[in-house]
Structure 1
Amino acid sequence: MNCIAIDDEPLALDLLKDYIEKIPFLELERTFTNPIEALGYLQENKVDLVFLDVELPYLSGIEFVKCLQSKPLIIFTTAYEKYALAGYDLEITDYLVKPIVFDRFLRAVNKAYCINKQSKKGNERIAALPEKESQSEFIMVKTGYSTININLNDILYVEGLKDYIKIHLTGKTVLTLNSLKKLQEMLPESRFVRVHRSFIVSLPKIDSIQRSRIVIGKTFVPVGENYKNAFKDMIASINL
């Protein structure tokens, strides 16, 4: 994993550099004392992991993360525990409080390594799926006395209603006697994910994710507690 470190304290950077050199799977690309320079570097270069101080000149670590177009894994390094909640909201990988001891640093980078490895496997799996699934761009469902053809690209989300399911399409809905589980088996897992006992969503149709709900157009779809971790992993694996 290639990484950079950002801290306005040279001694803190020296400590991080020393720790990173001890980890076989980490490669330190650059260190920065100025977050603006680091932001410019990330616009031109891809890294897997960023060690980021929170209290920085010109741009705080929290503001820095919010500015990133494509977010790598982030490990906060700070002398203040008060930023832990903000780090959680930004979904950073870990939070190290100074003075950083090596065993705690090691746990943090091992966590980052596992997430990075899982993410790459997920991307490889998803990249391999389209060819396999190219022959299944539609599904056939019964509604009333008819069987209709539904293009997968038109599906926004699916809602379970006891013995029926409601398929929400662009501009209309289709009600069919079926189970959510059975329909889930018909849908390609690279594009559709179950996020609640009563909902399946189309990943390309997601406009935004707000804590425990998904926004699709003007609709808010809840993310169930039992599905939250799997959904979060799915999102991380495709860098949505």
Structure 2
Amino acid sequence: MENLNRIRCMAVDDEPPALQLLKSYIDKIHSLQLIFHSSNALDAFNFIQQNEIDLLFIDIQMPGLNGLEFVKALFHKPAIIITTAYREHAAEGFDLDVLDYLVKPFRFERFLKAVSKYTHTVTVPANFEMLQNNRTSESVYMYFNVNKELIKVFLKDILYIESIKDYIKIVTLQKTIVTYQRISYMEEKLPEEDFMRTHKSFIVNIHKINSFKSDRIRIASDVIPIGRFYKRNLIDRLNGDTFSE
């Protein structure tokens, strides 16, 4: 795993002791790299607009801009771990698709458990940056954690992705893998030029579509449902004729 980038972290908390504790915990884990930390949420928000962050640790109760408002305002969200003394905000936090919710004071063992949820999701290699500048490159790939082993998958080989509760099934012509991840995270990370959501439980590689009709898509030998909410976008995207109802 030495060839993989370290996980770029940001820590935001207006309480100096809490921020210092987060910094010390992050420093103990070699795979984590603290890129930026601040007690000022507005400064942190400005920073994250200009820089790539993989994992955000953020408090809720902060002056000026609280943690939930911070997360809601982000267009491209990193993985998020909320750190707060207020349990009553947990439900709203999870509605925002956060990775975990740490209630202060939390021990290092609990911090490790939260971080492990990230390491069981997608691990992105250095050349993932190619997606930003060369989205048609056939060499772009991701690593997925499967049974504690990182499996390499080229994006061009993905046929479709299916959500199975808190897991996703990634189907290619060569293999099918199942990994702990949310489909919403993949929807954010995959290049929209090549992939699109066609159902609450499916993302497809649009270049792999063999045929489609009003309620389904065929990719290879598999049939993928089309959700009503996604139908119009699919029509516009593929420049097809209006589906018959």
Category of TM-score, reference length = shorter chain: 0.5 to 0.7
- TM-score under structure 2 length normalisation: 0.56
Q: Which among 213, 220, 233 is matched to residue 167 of structure 1? A: 213
Paired letter, 2:213: I
Gaps of at least 5 residues in structure 2 are 1-6, 126-141, 145-151, 160-171, 173-193, 200-210, 235-245
- TM-score under structure 1 length normalisation: 0.57
* Structure 2 residue aligned with 1:121: 143
Deviation at 1:112, TM superposition (A): 1.1
* Structure 1 residue aligned with 2:14: 8
Paired letter, 2:220: E
| Deviation by residue 1:136-165 (Cα, 9 ceiling, x = unmatched) | xxxxxxxxxxxxxxxxx9x9969xxxxxx9
* Change in CA separation of 1:59 and 1:184 when aligned onto 2, cut-off 3 Å: same
For these two proteins, the number of residue pairs brought into alignment is: 160
**Structure 2 counterpart SS, 1:217:** helix
* Change in CA separation of 1:128 and 1:166 when aligned onto 2, cut-off 3 Å: closer
**Structure 2 counterpart SS, 1:58:** coil
- Do the aligned residues in 2 keep the contact of 1:77 with 1:96 (CA within 8 Å)? yes
- Do the aligned residues in 2 keep the contact of 1:3 with 1:26 (CA within 8 Å)? yes
| Deviation by residue 1:70-108 (Cα, 9 ceiling, x = unmatched) | 110000000011111111111000000000111110000
Gaps of at least 5 residues in structure 1 are 134-152, 159-164, 174-179, 188-192, 202-212, 220-240
- In structure 2, how many angstroms separate the alpha carbons of the residues matched to 1:114 and 1:4? 19
Greater share of residues in helix: 1
* Change in CA separation of 1:55 and 1:156 when aligned onto 2, cut-off 3 Å: closer
Taking only aligned residues, the RMSD between alpha carbons, in angstroms, comes to: 3.6
Q: Which among 13, 20, 25 is matched to residue 31 of structure 2? A: 25
Paired letter, 1:80: Y
- In structure 1, how many angstroms separate the alpha carbons of the residues matched to 2:233 and 2:156? 30
- Do the aligned residues in 1 keep the contact of 2:198 with 2:230 (CA within 8 Å)? no
- Do the aligned residues in 2 keep the contact of 1:157 with 1:167 (CA within 8 Å)? no
Deviation at 1:60, TM superposition (A): 1.2
* Change in CA separation of 1:214 and 1:98 when aligned onto 2, cut-off 3 Å: farther
Deviation above 4 Å: which 4+ runs of structure 1?
127-130, 155-158
* Change in CA separation of 1:86 and 1:124 when aligned onto 2, cut-off 3 Å: same
- Do the aligned residues in 2 keep the contact of 1:5 with 1:52 (CA within 8 Å)? yes
2:232 is the counterpart of 1:217: yes
Deviation at 1:116, TM superposition (A): 3.4
Paired letter, 2:66: S
Which structure has the greater CA radius of gyration?
1
Deviation at 1:62, TM superposition (A): 0.8
- In structure 2, how many angstroms separate the alpha carbons of the residues matched to 1:10 and 1:185? 55
Percent identity over paired residues? 38
* Change in CA separation of 1:156 and 1:74 when aligned onto 2, cut-off 3 Å: closer
- In structure 2, how many angstroms separate the alpha carbons of the residues matched to 1:214 and 1:167? 15
| Deviation by residue 1:89-138 (Cα, 9 ceiling, x = unmatched) | 110000000001111100000111221327932695324559xx9xxxxx
